């Protein structure tokens, strides 16, 4: 019995890698245009960063982290998300000294020990952006516009933009009191999880998917009707920026998201047809996180999207992937005794900046030609006995199927 890939993880096989290169390239191109610089943080951090950053009562911290001790017993955790690590790096590297506002992006694996299902993995890839150092509502709108541009350039349709405001420390505290008062009366009818949420984090009850809770939540006090004037103005400005760019969005006062650091704007992008795991990205403002992690008060806003879900959505919407760049030249040998010449030729082609390969299994010419076709080589060079005696080879254009004899010395010129 061979060992299988761990539950909730997957291999990206060579036949699929061009999809990843394409999406990653597109993301980087657009983020560059918007002025983001890439940051790469470690795949694991001290556990405390996530406990303090994401919030003790969240599902992520409570049940989804891959946590393990190092040899000295310090608790480490595979990063379940990128925002807390980016803020840690921002503080540790005193990035506030570089510029008042910093725009960062990241792209890489995240780890959550969730129950795997379609579109939900234990190792998944996020691209994320963070703007740290501004409370401007234009930054919130810019984050949304940036993400929508990525989706649009990839050809994705039916992406619903859902927004909400979860208020600030002050107005949210008042709202939570109201919500608790309301939930207290209905407590006996809440699901067991929401009964616990009622005590620890009542806001999370707002997006409970259980039918029993949905009905109760429908009549609950609405957060956007309980915002302080500052949060209300901020939310109105964000919506006005989006309207000015003709962005269609939907307001959902029950959108609270699964991380505790959000303040004011929260948003999510939903892709129709993805099933239960239909959130193709999400984010929001987190004005208190820098301070909570030891810095001075610094407002910030950001977003992250799962690349696997984006790929699933592209496939589901039958959007054609651009063709991967095949090999430039495949070198086929008629007789193995010419392998030294073939080896030299291969290297010469590569030294001239073209990609080239051969079949090391020593198969027949027919099977070598099959391989050249399979790997979508542009040209095949056939090194035959008779031609070689004249210092020549056969060059076959794999698309037009045209063949001609060519002096080896002229080969590179002809191919470039
Ligand atoms: P999040 O909503 O937890 O936000 O994750 C963002 C996106 O990552 C989701 O919308 C989804 O596309 C993808 N994702 C999450 N979990 C999984 C999973 N188990 N399998 C596959 N894909 C998944 C955050 O992580 C925040 N850090 C976003 C943010 C950045 N907020 C402010 N700045």
The pLDDT score that the predictor gives to residue 317 is 94
Q: Does residue 309's CB lie within 6 angstroms of at least one atom of ligand 1?
A: yes
* Residues recorded for the chain: 416
Q: Does residue 82's CB lie within 6 angstroms of at least one atom of ligand 1?
A: yes
Q: Across all residues in the chain, what is the average pLDDT?
A: 94
Distance CA 82, CA 66 (A): 15
The pLDDT score that the predictor gives to residue 215 is 86
59, containing H or E segment = helix 59-63
Distance CA 238, CA 163 (A): 10
> Tokens representing 66?
């891959």
271, containing H or E segment = strand 263-271
For residues 58-69, average pLDDT? 95
**In degrees to the nearest 10, what's the CA dihedral of 80, 85, 87, 88?**
140
For residues 43-49, average pLDDT? 98
Q: Residue 82 gets which letter from DSSP? A: S
The pLDDT score that the predictor gives to residue 160 is 96
Percent of the chain with pLDDT over 90: 82
147 CA distance to ligand 1 centroid (A)? 13
Residue recorded with tokens 């929260």: 266
The answer to whether residue 11 scores a pLDDT higher than 80 is: yes
Least confident of 13-22, 82-91, 316-325: 316-325
Residues 6+ apart with CB under 8 A from 397: 378, 379, 403
Q: Does residue 140's CB lie within 6 angstroms of at least one atom of ligand 1?
A: no
User: Could you read off the pLDDT of 395-412 as tens digits, one per residue?
Assistant: 999 999 999 999 998 998
76, containing H or E segment = strand 75-78
Partnered with residue 77 across adjacent β-strands are 45, 67
If one compares 275 and 320, the residue with the highest pLDDT of the two is 320
Which atom of ligand 1 is closest in space to residue 128's alpha carbon?
A: 30
User: Could you read off the pLDDT of 134-158 as tens digits, one per residue?
Assistant: 999 999 999 999 999 999 999 999 9
Q: Furthest-apart CA pair in the chain: how many Å? A: 95
The pLDDT score that the predictor gives to residue 5 is 97
> Tokens representing 282?
């999400």
> If you take atom 32 of ligand 1, which residue's CA is the nearest one?
302
* E-only strand ranges, 186-259: 249-251
3-state percent breakdown (helix, strand, coil) of the chain, nearest 5: 45, 20, 35
| 336 phi and psi angles, rounded to 5 deg | -60, -20
The pLDDT score that the predictor gives to residue 372 is 94
The answer to whether residue 380 scores a pLDDT higher than 90 is: yes
Residue recorded with tokens 């704007």: 265
Decide if 330 contacts 350 (C-beta within 8 A).
Answer: no
The pLDDT score that the predictor gives to residue 21 is 95
149 CA distance to ligand 1 centroid (A)? 18
127 CA distance to ligand 1 centroid (A)? 9
The pLDDT score that the predictor gives to residue 416 is 80
The pLDDT score that the predictor gives to residue 248 is 97
If one compares 19 and 208, the residue with the highest pLDDT of the two is 19
Q: How confident is the model at residue 214 (pLDDT cuts 50, 70, 90)?
A: confident
Q: Does residue 202's CB lie within 6 angstroms of at least one atom of ligand 1?
A: no
The answer to whether residue 323 scores a pLDDT higher than 90 is: no
Q: Does residue 262's CB lie within 6 angstroms of at least one atom of ligand 1?
A: no
Distance CA 310, CA 293 (A): 31
User: Could you read off the pLDDT of 216-254 as tens digits, one per residue?
Assistant: 888 999 999 999 999 999 999 999 999 999 999 999 999
Where does residue 267 rank: exposed (0-12), middle (13-18), buried (19+ CB within 10 A)?
A: buried
Residue recorded with tokens 């031609």: 387
The pLDDT score that the predictor gives to residue 415 is 86
Decide if 273 contacts 283 (C-beta within 8 A).
Answer: no
- Which of 41, 110, 126 should be mutated for ligand 1, with most atoms under 8 A from CB? 126
The pLDDT score that the predictor gives to residue 346 is 95
The answer to whether residue 193 scores a pLDDT higher than 90 is: no
The answer to whether residue 71 scores a pLDDT higher than 90 is: yes
Check residue 66 and give left, alpha or beta (phi > 0: left; psi -120 to 50: alpha).
beta
The answer to whether residue 343 scores a pLDDT higher than 80 is: yes
Q: Does residue 124's CB lie within 6 angstroms of at least one atom of ligand 1?
A: yes
The answer to whether residue 196 scores a pLDDT higher than 80 is: yes
The pLDDT score that the predictor gives to residue 46 is 98
**In degrees to the nearest 10, what's the CA dihedral of 8, 13, 19, 21?**
100
């Amino acid at each position: 019995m061979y060992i299988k890939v761990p539950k909730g993880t997957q291999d990206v096989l060579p036949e699929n890698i061009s999809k990843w290169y394409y999406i990653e390239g597109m993301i980087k191109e657009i983020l560059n245009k918007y002025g983001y610089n890439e940051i790469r943080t470690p795949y694991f951090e001290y556990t405390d960063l996530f406990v303090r950053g994401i919030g003790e009562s969240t599902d992520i911290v409570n049940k989804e982290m891959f946590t393990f001790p190092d040899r000295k017993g310090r608790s480490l955790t595979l990063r379940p998300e990128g925002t807390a690590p980016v803020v840690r790096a921002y503080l540790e590297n005193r990035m506030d000294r570089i510029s008042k506002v910093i725009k960062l992006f990241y792209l890489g694996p995240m780890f959550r020990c969730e129950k795997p299902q379609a579109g939900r993995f234990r190792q998944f890839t996020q691209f994320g952006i963070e703007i740290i150092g501004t409370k401007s509502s234009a930054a919130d709108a810019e984050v949304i516009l940036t993400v929508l541009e990525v989706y649009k350039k990839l050809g994705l349709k039916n992406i619903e933009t859902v927004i909400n405001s979860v208020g600030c420390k002050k107005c949210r505290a008042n709202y939570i009191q109201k919500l608790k008062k309301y939930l207290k009366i209905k407590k006996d009818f809440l699901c067991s999880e929401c009964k616990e949420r009622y005590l620890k984090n009542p806001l999370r009850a707002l997006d409970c998917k259980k039918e029993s809770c949905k009905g109760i939540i429908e009549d609950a006090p609405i957060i956007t009707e309980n915002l302080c004037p500052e949060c209300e103005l901020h939310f109105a400005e964000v919506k006005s920026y989006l309207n000015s760019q003709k962005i269609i969005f939907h307001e959902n006062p029950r959108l609270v998201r699964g991380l505790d650091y959000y303040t004011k704007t929260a948003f999510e992008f939903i892709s129709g047809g993805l099933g239960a795991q239909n959130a193709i990205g999400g984010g929001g403002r987190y004005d208190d996180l820098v301070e909570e992690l030891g810095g001075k008060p610094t407002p910030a806003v950001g977003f992250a999207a799962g690349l696997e879900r984006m790929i699933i959505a592209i496939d589901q919407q039958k959007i054609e992937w651009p063709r991967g760049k095949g090999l430039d030249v495949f070198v086929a040998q008629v007789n193995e005794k010419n392998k030294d010449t073939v080896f030299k030729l291969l290297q010469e082609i590569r030294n001239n900046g073209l990609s080239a390969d051969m079949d090391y299994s020593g198969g027949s010419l027919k099977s070598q030609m099959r391989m050249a076709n399979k790997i979508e080589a542009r040209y095949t060079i056939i090194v035959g006995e008779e031609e070689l005696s004249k210092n020549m080879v056969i060059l076959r254009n794999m698309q037009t199927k045209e063949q001609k004899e060519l002096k080896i010395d002229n080969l590179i010129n002809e191919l470039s």
